[in-house]
Every structure is written in C-alpha cells, then in structure tokens.
C-alpha cells in the first residue's frame, strides 16, 4: 500500500500561557500543502502464514527510512502510531491472511523539524492505512483518540485539509479551504527546537496577554484573497523563535523587504511562508528566493488533492 502524507502550514497560530499540564493552549488554523512524504506499507505474507487466531504484536513492525538521520525506532511517530493502534486492537484476532511481519518504508521529502508536521502526517497516514489494510473499520472517533495519544498535530491530519484546532491541537473543527490556494515555502534549514521555542516564549512572557475566547471569522478569512488574508494572520511563536535564532528573524525581514509581502512562520519554525492567489506568482517568488537568497524555496498548492492507494483518483 503506497500512501502520500502531506505537510501542513499553520496559517494562523495563537498561543496562550503554559497551563498546569505543562503545555500551552493553542488556537490554530492549519491547512495541508502539496509537499509529501511517501509511505509504503507491506504486510509480509511470507511462507509462514499465521493461523487465524494470530495476534499481531508490536515487535512485528519494521520501519525503514531513506533519510539516514531519521530514527526508525519508537521515537518515530509512524512507528508510535502503528504500535498505539496495535494496543487498541490488542485482543482482536486478525485475518488469517496476515502473517506476523509488517514493514513500513518512509521516503522523506518534508524537512524534519521545520514546523511542517511531516512526522505527524506520517503517523496519521499510518493509522488510516493500517485501519484499511487490516480491515479494522475503526470509527473516526476511535482513530482520533489514538491519533491524539501519538502527538498533538496528528488528529489534524486525520481530518484535513483545512481545520481550526484547539487545546493542544486535538480539538479539530473542519474549516473552509482558503481562496488563496498557493504558498511559497522557504525551507530555511535553521534548526529551531520546538521545546526551546516554547521555553523562550515563557521567558519573554508572551502568553500573558492570552488570545481570549473569541475566534476570528474563519469563513470570512477563507474568502479573502492572499494580500488581505496575509495581513490578518499571525503566529505568536515568531518573537520567541526569532529571539532564539536571530538569523531566522533577519531572514524574515529580508524576505519581506525583497518580496514586498507579509512573510509568516509555520509552527515553531524554521519554515517561512507567504500566500498567493495564483500558482504562477508562487513559482516566480520561489525562483526569486532560490536565486537571490540562495535558499531552498518551493511553490506548493494549499489543500492539494491526495491520490494514493487510500484515495483512488
């Protein structure tokens, strides 16, 4: 089974003060973008076919990845997702067709640690893929509960392509896809560890003002063209990330100047983005950033159509 896992951007991200759980409450509008990891899931149907009462055990999962820097152990969210699902179905007997080995091969295209949610997307696609492969028919709520346990951004990817998420990210409400359908991502490559960004956020007391209960008029925002929409979007983690990695803040300023456009950061960084109404505009901007700033930049569609073995064209 070949699956595509899209990246996301946080179009809008509000962050409150750290609560008693040690986490910060969020209000964020996220949208998938056309940059994909590929997952190939194989159920080993080798010579030793399992008897009908076989139980699938967590040890039977083998994860591999073309990117050698990525751990293929329990710290990998795709692995955690598969294991969490196995725990849920624990005692349920699987189809006699299945033997004991499951292999997942991950081809990474989404930069790691860039605020693009690659690991979470891989995990969500693993859950949906295994639900289908094993004919589990788990209802959406149950998959959602497993996803929330695996990581804060995972539930969003079960729902996508455009959703407003609250809590730690686990409260997901579908939202309209923005009319501005193109983004240019600047893959800065600056490592910006999430934990350190939140710690700096606390030091700077950025959560003290809070973001209140009132939500922006998402429907109205979704109807705006790129310019007016960009002027309304914000990311409360930007001051913390830019204080932690000043080069990233300087890069944002330089890009805003040279492109004469609002540039936002996604998640806790270090990927920066801006929005466009037309594909061509995003491509021209990406080319400009590559040649003028010598940085990796790509034009991507927002809420792209995903055609893989789960969703046939």
Q: Is the dihedral of CA 268, 130, 47, 40 positive or negative?
A: negative
Q: Which long-range contacts (CB under 8 A, 24 or more apart) does 228-233 make?
A: 229/11, 229/178, 229/179, 229/180, 229/275, 230/261, 230/262, 230/264, 230/274, 230/275, 231/262, 232/12, 233/11, 233/12, 233/262, 233/264
Bond prior to 161 in cis (omega within 30° of 0) = yes
Task: Please tell me whether residue 198 binds ligand C5P under the rule CB under 6 A.
Answer: yes
Q: State which residue, 265 or 275, has the beta carbon closest to ligand C5P.
A: 265
Backbone angles phi, psi at 55, to 5 degrees: -110, 140
The minimum distance between CB 201 and ligand C5P, in angstroms, equals: 8
Binds ligand C5P by CB under 6 A, chosen from 103, 107, 149, 194: 194
For residues 1-11, b (16+ Cβ closer than 10 Å) or e, as one string? Answer: bebbbbbbbbb
> Is 208 a residue of the active site?
no
The minimum distance between CB 47 and ligand C5P, in angstroms, equals: 41
> Is 8 a residue of the active site?
yes
Quote the tokens at residue 94. 């699987």
Task: Please tell me whether residue 205 binds ligand C5P under the rule CB under 6 A.
Answer: no
Residue from 86, 211, 80 nearest 154 by CA: 80
The minimum distance between CB 252 and ligand C5P, in angstroms, equals: 21
Q: With residue 238 as reference, give the H or E element that holds it.
A: helix 238-244
The minimum distance between CB 253 and ligand C5P, in angstroms, equals: 26
Task: Please tell me whether residue 166 binds ligand C5P under the rule CB under 6 A.
Answer: no
Binding residues for ligand C5P, how many (CB under 6 A)?
Answer: 9
Task: Please tell me whether residue 26 binds ligand C5P under the rule CB under 6 A.
Answer: yes
Task: Please tell me whether residue 168 binds ligand C5P under the rule CB under 6 A.
Answer: yes
Bond prior to 270 in cis (omega within 30° of 0) = yes
Q: Among residues 37, 108, 122, 153, which one is catalytic?
A: 153
Q: State which residue, 151 or 304, has the beta carbon closest to ligand C5P.
A: 151
Q: State which residue, 24 or 159, has the beta carbon closest to ligand C5P.
A: 24
The minimum distance between CB 206 and ligand C5P, in angstroms, equals: 12
Task: Please tell me whether residue 24 binds ligand C5P under the rule CB under 6 A.
Answer: yes
Task: Please tell me whether residue 120 binds ligand C5P under the rule CB under 6 A.
Answer: no
Furthest CA-CA distance within the chain = 65
* Beta bridge mates, 4: 38
Q: Binding residues for ligand C5P, per CB under 6 A? A: 18, 23-24, 26, 152, 168, 194-195, 198
Active site residues: 8, 153
């Amino acid at each position: 089974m070949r699956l595509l896992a899209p990246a996301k951007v946080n179009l809008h991200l509000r962050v409150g003060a750290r609560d008693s759980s040690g986490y910060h409450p969020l209000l964020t509008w996220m949208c998938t973008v056309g940059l994909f990891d590929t997952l190939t899931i194989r159920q080993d149907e080798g010579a030793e076919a399992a008897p009908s009462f076989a139980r699938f055990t967590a040890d039977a999962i083998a994860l591999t990845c073309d990117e050698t820097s990525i751990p293929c152990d329990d710290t990998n969210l795709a692995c955690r997702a598969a294991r969490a699902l196995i725990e849920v179905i624990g005692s349920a007997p699987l189809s006699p067709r299945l033997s004991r080995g499951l292999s997942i091969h991950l081809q990474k295209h989404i930069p790691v640690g860039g605020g693009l949610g690659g690991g979470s997307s891989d995990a969500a696609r693993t859950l949906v893929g295994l639900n289908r492969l094993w004919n589990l028919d788990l209802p959406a709520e149950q998959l959602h509960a497993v996803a929330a346990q695996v990581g804060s951004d995972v539930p969003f990817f079960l729902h996508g392509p455009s959703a407003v998420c609250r809590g730690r990210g686990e409260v997901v409400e579908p939202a309209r896809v923005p009319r501005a359908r193109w983004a240019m991502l600047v893959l800065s490559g600056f490592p910006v560890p999430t934990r350190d960004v939140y710690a700096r956020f606390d030091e700077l007391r950025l959560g003290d003002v809070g973001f209140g209960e009132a939500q922006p008029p998402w429907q109205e925002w979704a109807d705006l063209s790129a310019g007016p929409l960009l002027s309304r979007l914000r990311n409360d983690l930007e001051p913390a990330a830019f204080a932690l990695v000043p080069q990233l803040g300087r890069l944002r300023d330089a890009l805003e100047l040279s492109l004469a456009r609002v540039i936002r950061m996604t998640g806790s960084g270090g990927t920066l983005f801006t929005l466009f109404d037309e594909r061509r505009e995003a491509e021209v901007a990406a080319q400009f950033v590559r040649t003028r700033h010598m940085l990796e930049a790509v034009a991507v569609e927002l809420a792209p159509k995903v055609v893989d073995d789960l969703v046939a064209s």
